[in-house]
Amino acid sequence: MSQTIDQAEIVKLLIEAIDMFLICTALLTFGMGMCIMFYGSRSIQKPGMQVDNLHLGSFNLKSS
């Protein structure tokens, strides 16, 4: 009986650990995507190009 309870607790802890790993991986992927979207366009631009202040990440806005 005690061995069954221990195995159930181990399985529960293993599932929780895998769940936390998957959540952290998803949050890291989301965070890196946001970083690339908002700051990645600055590193893509070639030296000597004029930087337009009206941009949102890689989405350039037209000035009227």
Give residue 44's identity as a one-letter amino acid code: I
> What is the spatial distance between Cα 61 and Cα 64, in angstroms, rounded to a whole number?
9
Give the angle subtended at the CA of 21 by the CAs of 17 and 57, to the nearest 5°.
160
Sketch the domain layout of the chain as residue ranges.
2-60
pTM over 0.75: no
Write out the two tokens for 31: 């965070």
Q: What is the pLDDT of residues 10-59, one digit of tens each?
A: 999 999 999 999 999 999 999 999 988 888 766 555 555 555 555 555 55
DSSP-based three-state secondary structure for 26: helix
